[in-house]
Structure 1
Amino acid sequence: MKVANAKQAQEDQDYHRVLCEFLFQLADDELTLGHRDSEWLGLSPDIEGDVAFSSIAQDEVGHAVFYFDLLHELGEKNPDQLAFARPLTERRNATLLERENGDFAYSIVRHYLYDVFDSCRLEAIEQSSYQPLAQGAIKIRREEYYHRLHMSAYLNRLGQAGGEAKKRLEKAIHDIWPEIGGLFCWGEYENKLFEYGIISISVKELQERWIMQVKSTLLKAGLPWPGDWPKVKRDGRKGEHSPDLAKLLSTMSEVYQSDPSARW
């Protein structure tokens, strides 16, 4: 099954609904983490980190715009409205990504774990039945490769340094792990995503690929595997979010909300 454009997608109401729900997950993940990345501007411990987080933030927000553009073509509101005007309960990002940055170790660990997940997810949608999404995923995955490379290098450097750096990484992994499962919750249409070919592999297989890659990196960095897979307590894919997201949305949309009808 191949769907060439938005018009064809809209002809099947169920396909259209499942596709849009997935695109909101993709867009909200990227937008939320991109905003968190931008908060490191001027605060990173070195110039390399400052420049990298700024560049990566720009990439993530750009990817979010791509997904919002696809949604707009499918009949949703314009990208600015989707990014800045939707209420918290309509957001579909994983809760891990909305958490406040914490220290540098926390941001490095979170970003690395997400980057591996996103790489696996993008690989699963490069063969998507929805052709505009598949074509965009190919380009985005090339950019995400460098994000993952940067974060894994930092993770390895800090882990092998030992001492305080390694302790902070271990604490970050411990703090992040309870919410890691939320990345792999893909909402009420999870099975249909695979049935319709919007993703080419099952969530279970994607999770297995993620675990294999992350275990290898942690071992190289001298860091322990966190343990059993955690149970999801708050599912962002269903609009279940923390107060951290409320504060993030308030800050991120401050200018837009001052005059939503303005053209910038």
Structure 2
Amino acid sequence: MMPVETAEEAKKDATYLKALKDLIYQCADDDFIISFRGSEWLGLAPHIEEDVAFSSITQNTMGHAVMFYSLLEELGEGKADALAHERQPDERRNAVYLEKKNGEGSYLGEPYYDWALTVVRNFLYETFKKVKLKAITNSSYQPLANVAEKVLMEQPYHLSHWRIWVEQLLASTEDARSRLEERLEEAWYAFGDVLELGQYATEMEHFQLMIGEDELKELWLEEVKTTIKDLPNGTPKKQLGSGREGEHTADFDQALEVLSEVYVSDENAIW
């Protein structure tokens, strides 16, 4: 397929446009929600160096979300800020596993967060993001391919950060290892949702927007195995639901309420 260079060209084929927008929404919404969960660790990370590093990663990831929302704005979906804050839960395409709370309590109300959950979730997600973005650099939609290339300039540092945490915890005390393995086992029941491409997966592959789901999953698993040799049996499931189909949990409602609190206080403000 010939490259599609502009948003106006993409709009000429309705089926192409639907698949393209769904793919970009997935990229944007995934980064948006996992960035928020990362922001809840501000001041609570295991040590000061990690607090600084994680805050930087979180800020970068939110910046990636903005880049994807801006692509959707170019495609006529509305303003980037509105796409981030005003859409209803059933319009969101982020994976459900990524919206899961960091632990018990809340940021301002006796947070009892689980670092093992955060390490596992971010490692698995950043591994997936690397594989997905590399595939998108060959996308037929050139503006999306260009954004993927830009994100990949810093995303490998994010993945390296979480890979080191996984390796250190697995080689640490029995307690640290067991906590990590417990969260990994838990993730195997929910991460399948992240690995899906939604209702337009076939069209995405047909229009060369993205590689197929099976290939994506295989590449992700191969990459994960380079760091974690002993993985849970079988393939990841999606017991929390299918975010690609607009299914979400109460955890997402809580996240969106906090995320949009300042925005909805004055939607016309210029920050």
In which range does the TM-score fall when normalised by the shorter chain? over 0.9
Runs of 4+ in 1 over 3 A off after TM superposition: none
C-alpha RMSD of matched pairs (Å): 1.1
**2:223 maps to amino acid:** Q
Q: 1:226 & 1:14 partners in 2: Cα distance? A: 38
Q: Give deviations 1:115-154, integer Å, cap 9, x for gaps.
A: 1100000011001000011011112112110011010001
Task: Output one character per residue of 1:210-242: Cα deviation in whole Å (capped at 9) or x when no partner.
Answer: 1112122112xxxx3111114334100011011
Q: 1:179 is aligned with what amino acid? A: A
Q: Is residue 2:228 matched to residue 1:218?
A: yes
Q: In structure 2, which of residues 171, 196, 218 is the aligned counterpart of residue 208 of structure 1?
A: 218
AA at the equivalent of 1:20: K
Distance 2:158 2:47 in 1: 17
Secondary structure of the structure 2 residue equivalent to 1:217: coil
Q: Which string of whole-angstrom CA distances, capped at 9 and with x for unpartnered residues, describes residues 41-80 of structure 1?
A: 1000112211111001111110000000000000011011
Distance in 2 separating the partners of 1:31 and 1:96: 13
1:231 & 1:31 partners in 2: Cα distance? Answer: 22
1:150-181 superposed Cα distances (whole Å, 9 cap, x missing partner): 10001101110132111110111122211110
Q: Does 1:259 align with 2:260?
A: no
1:70 counterpart letter in structure 2: L
Equivalent residue number for residue 166 of structure 2: 155
Task: For 1:24 and 1:211, locate their aligned partners in 2 and report how far apart those are by CA, in whole Å.
Answer: 23
201, 223, 238: which one pairs with 1:232? 238
Shift of 1:263: 3.0
Q: CA deviation at 1:193?
A: 0.2
TM-score by length of 1: 0.95
| Worse overlay, 61-70 or 171-180 | 171-180
C-alpha distance in 1 between matches for 2:14 and 2:174: 56
Q: Which amino acid aligns with 1:226?
A: P
* Alpha-carbon separation, structure 2, partners of 1:213 and 1:128: 21
Q: Please list, as runs of the form range in 1=range in 2, the aligned pairs for 1:104-115 lying within 5 A after superposition.
A: 104-115=115-126
Alpha carbons 2:187, 2:236 under 8 Å: kept: no
225-234 vs 54-63, which moves further: 225-234
Alignment of 1:72-87 (within 5 A): 72-87=73-88
TM-score, with length taken from structure 2: 0.93
User: Does structure 1 residue 249 correspond to structure 2 residue 260?
Assistant: no
Amino acid in structure 2 at the alignment position of 1:210? W
Structure with higher helix content: 1
Unaligned runs of 5+ in 2: 104-113
Task: Kindly state the Cα deviation for residue 187 of structure 1 after the two structures are TM-superposed.
Answer: 1.1
Secondary structure at 2:44's aligned position in 1? coil
Partner of 1:142, secondary structure, is coil
Letter in 2 for 1:258: S
1:46 aligns with 2:47: yes
- Which runs of 5 or more residues in structure 1 are unaligned? none
